[in-house]
């Protein structure tokens, strides 16, 4: 049975799913997206992802194309139609199809909405057990990384550089400070403190980041929200990343140097465990 995807109000088999060649997502990367993880057939932190979708759209002068309840129904429909137990629901909203012009299309041009599922093992993952090896790369992205746009070429190029180097991922660096991972937020553990970059236009405001920081506070762990340097990361006791699809994943090597003992550390392991328990309990 082929995967059913949602395209502008209809559920269609993926082979039959179509968007216009004039779609501004295609021509201008004029669109935003969200990725909601699915555990046990339920949606993790759905409200948080919808809040960020609304914020990303608002920052680009677009409105929510459907009510949040409709997005919830669509997500649940896709999970059910594709019998998804574990994985992700990807949703993309673009400024719609219009003749190619740098100016935004006339008011009333319908936004395009596409959603699809991706099956994936999220809890039981080799990367979580053994940790990932990363390289650092210059952050060449634009100045509004807090908007979750579909312009992902810079991140894609960093990920390819990591692959070519035989590693798993990359952290992006600006003025000597780590901004974030290609598709995750970055953390180090040093001197008993969990350190992660503070929120600004420089990084995506991760929904998993917010949950992990809340859980760390509840567990009375020490947190510092501030930028950290590559040198600090290399000298840290532990490092890890968070995202909707990787939860909390330890980083065991940076630019060929082991982080701490070179094995996944206890802080990342504990945070991963409490994050997954909380995500399962609160999924809708």
As measured in angstroms, the least distance from the Cβ of 32 to ligand PLP is 12
Q: Is 148 a catalytic residue?
A: yes
CA distances from 140 to 92, 203, 273 (A): 23, 12, 34
**Going by C-beta distance under 8 Å and a sequence separation of 6 or more, which residues neighbour residue 11?**
4, 5, 77, 78, 81
- Residue corresponding to tokens 């598709």: 183
- Cα–Cα distances (Å) from 271 to 120, 168, 209, 241, 267, in that order, read 21, 21, 11, 11, 6
Rounded CA-CA distance 284/281 in Å is 9
Token pair recorded at residue 22: 């004039």
Asked if 52 and 205 count as a contact pair (C-beta separation under 8 A), the reply is yes
Please state, in angstroms and rounded to a whole number, the distance separating the CA atoms of residues 11 and 15. Answer: 12
Q: Supply the minimum distance, in Å, between the C-beta of residue 97 and ligand PLP.
A: 26
Give the separation between CA 194 and CA 216, rounded to whole angstroms. 9
Nearer to ligand PLP, 94 or 249 (CB): 249
4 vs 32 by CB, closer to ligand PLP: 32
Q: How far is the CB of 227 from ligand PLP (least distance, A)?
A: 15
Place of tokens 């940790």: 131
DSSP secondary-structure letter at 16? G
| Least CB distance to ligand PLP at residue 115 (A) | 16
Which one, 43 or 207, has the nearer CB to ligand PLP?
A: 207
Give the alpha-carbon dihedral of 92, 93, 97, 102, to 10 degrees: -110
Of the listed 42, 125, 148, 164, which one is catalytic?
A: 148
Q: Looking at the chain, how many residues does it have? A: 284
Q: Which is nearer to ligand PLP, 98 or 115 (CB)?
A: 115
Q: For binding to ligand PLP (CB under 6 A), which residues are involved?
A: 35, 180, 183-185, 204, 206-209, 242-244
Question: 4 vs 197, which CB is nearer to ligand PLP?
Answer: 197
CB of 247 to ligand PLP, least distance (A): 9
Residues acting as catalytic residues = 148
């Amino acid at each position: 049975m082929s995967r059913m995807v949602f395209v502008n109000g209809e559920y269609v088999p993926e082979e039959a799913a179509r968007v216009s060649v004039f779609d501004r997502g295609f021509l201008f990367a004029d669109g935003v997206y969200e990725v909601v993880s699915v555990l046990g057939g339920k949606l993790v932190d759905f409200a948080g992802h919808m809040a960020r979708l609304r914020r990303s759209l608002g920052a680009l002068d677009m409105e929510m194309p459907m009510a949040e309840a409709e997005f919830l129904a669509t997500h649940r429909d896709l999970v059910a139609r594709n019998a998804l137990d574990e994985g992700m629901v990807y949703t993309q909203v673009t400024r719609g199809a219009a003749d190619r012009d740098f100016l935004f299309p006339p008011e009333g041009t319908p936004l395009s909405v596409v959603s699809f599922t991706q099956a994936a093992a999220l809890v039981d993952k080799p990367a979580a057990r053994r940790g990932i090896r990363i390289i650092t790369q210059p952050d060449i992205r634009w100045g509004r990384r807090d908007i979750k746009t579909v312009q992902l070429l810079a991140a894609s190029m960093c990920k390819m550089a990591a692959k070519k180097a035989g590693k798993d991922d990359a952290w992006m660096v600006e003025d000597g400070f780590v901004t974030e991972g290609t598709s995750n937020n970055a953390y180090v553990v040093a001197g008993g403190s969990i350190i992660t970059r503070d929120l600004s236009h420089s990084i995506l405001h991760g929904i998993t980041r917010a949950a992990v920081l809340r859980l760390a506070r509840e567990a009375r762990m020490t947190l510092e929200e501030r930028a950290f340097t590559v040198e600090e990361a290399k000298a840290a006791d532990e490092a890890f990343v968070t995202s909707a699809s990787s939860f909390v994943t330890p980083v065991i090597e940076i630019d060929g140097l082991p982080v701490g003992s070179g094995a996944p550390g206890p802080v990342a392991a504990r945070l991963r465990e409490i994050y997954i328990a909380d995500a399962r309990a609160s999924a809708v």
